[in-house]
Structure 1
Amino acid sequence: MSQATFTIDSAHSSANFSIKHMMIAKVHGGFEKVSGTLLLDSQDITKSSIEASIEAASINTREPQRDAHLKSADFFDIEKYPTLNFKSKKVEQDGDDLKVTGDLTIHGVTKEVVFEVEGPTAEMKDPYGNIKIGLSAKTKIKRKDFGLSWNAALEAGGVLVGDDVAISLDVQFAKKV
């Protein structure tokens, strides 16, 4: 059988983002609780699929006041929208890499996005006998497309928070037995 099920190893995975702050520098952050399942078809990678979920409350930008604001109704509104979700619709070979198209849901809004994916890596056995693989993915979104439109004008012109968000994922998966 060429299809195998893998689950995200959250202890060895990261979901990160960066966004311009005050139009001068990027602020970086991430989410600490990521889960999901990869159905990997080793014979035909285009028949593979992935679903992932991130706990919005696990956001970490290394600044507690900013994190609290990001969790509020001004941004992620974690009480109403506790998770960010992705479900693939199409996997395409792109040279040595992949393009994974799917539905990304943030703040209750679902939009189609395309991730550029490096990997998956070859299967490796960890010291405990578990089979692992990994991949890296990236995309860019506009936060306003997902209803994250809070901002503040700056006295010198421009805005406090940029609209373009770069997303990068480094994910390790464990094969289900």
Structure 2
Amino acid sequence: MSTTKWTVDPTHSEIGFKVKHMMFTNVSGKFTKFDAAATTEGDHFENAAFNFSGAVDSVSTGNTDRDGHLLSADFFDAAQFPQITFESTSFNKKNEGEYTLNGNFSLHGITKPISLDVEFGGIAKDPWGNTKAGFTITGKINRKDFGLNWNSALETGGVLVGEEVKLAIELQFIKQ
């Protein structure tokens, strides 16, 4: 069987995250500049290889001051660490349409293995004849595992920014 390359359709994809603010609400954000690709045997995604890279300076939370703080040395340190990357090590079927995606995630100069849950939406042709595949990917990381340690104590107890970052990713790939 031949190898098939898939590239991300950025106009139909999102790389999002949520983190607790003041321990009782979530702040959502996203990266607006990213690239992703997959390599499969034929059109079958079982055992596919995935990779991702995102521009740290494209972070957007809807608040210019907060985005500026995230880009500073307190958090992402975008000047020194301009990219977030992911390289898969395995993609295993759990149930029909459900997979586990394992790989090496690099953020802030630190690389660690992570595991993500994947819902495979299927493969279809769009109105222009392109073959597309859709994925919903969720998971979580601890930001402190990647050296993002800044925080501020609250008068009421607790901290300003939670440690757990929930990932919410929608990817639509185009068969090449």
More strand by share: 2
Per the TM alignment, residue 130 of structure 1 is displaced from its structure 2 partner at its CA by: 1.8
Counterpart of 2:144 in structure 1 is: 144
Per the TM alignment, residue 150 of structure 1 is displaced from its structure 2 partner at its CA by: 0.4
Per the TM alignment, residue 67 of structure 1 is displaced from its structure 2 partner at its CA by: 0.4
Counterpart of 1:108 in structure 2 is: 109
Per the TM alignment, residue 57 of structure 1 is displaced from its structure 2 partner at its CA by: 0.8
In structure 2, C-alpha distance between the alignment counterparts of 1:119 and 1:55, rounded to whole Å: 25
Structure 2 residue 122 is matched with structure 1 residue 121: yes
Counterpart of 1:12 in structure 2 is: 12
Mapped contact 2:52–2:87 kept (Cα < 8 A): yes
**Alpha carbons of structure 1 residues 89 and 41: separation in structure 2 relative to 1, 3 Å:** same
Higher deviation after alignment, 31-40 or 58-67 = 31-40
Mapped contact 1:49–1:90 kept (Cα < 8 A): yes
In structure 1, C-alpha distance between the alignment counterparts of 2:36 and 2:170, rounded to whole Å: 13
Q: 4+ runs of 1 displaced by more than 6 Å?
A: none
Higher deviation after alignment, 97-106 or 36-45 = 36-45
In structure 1, C-alpha distance between the alignment counterparts of 2:44 and 2:132, rounded to whole Å: 19
Identity %: 39
After superposition, the C-alpha distances for 1:122-171 in whole angstroms (9 at most, x for unaligned) are 2x222222221110111111000000000011112111100011001100
Mapping of residues 90-109 of structure 1, within 5 Å:
90-96=90-96, 97-109=98-110
Counterpart of 2:163 in structure 1 is: 163
Per the TM alignment, residue 82 of structure 1 is displaced from its structure 2 partner at its CA by: 0.7
Q: Which amino acid aligns with 2:134?
A: G
Structure 1: runs of 5 or more not aligned: none
SS in 2 for 1:86: strand
Per the TM alignment, residue 120 of structure 1 is displaced from its structure 2 partner at its CA by: 4.9
Tell me how many residue pairs correspond in the alignment.
175
Mapped contact 1:13–1:34 kept (Cα < 8 A): no
RMSD: 1.4
In structure 2, C-alpha distance between the alignment counterparts of 1:156 and 1:10, rounded to whole Å: 42
Higher deviation after alignment, 129-138 or 81-90 = 129-138
**Alpha carbons of structure 1 residues 145 and 159: separation in structure 2 relative to 1, 3 Å:** same
Per the TM alignment, residue 91 of structure 1 is displaced from its structure 2 partner at its CA by: 1.2
Q: Which amino acid aligns with 1:110?
A: T
Relative to the length of structure 1, the TM-score reads: 0.94
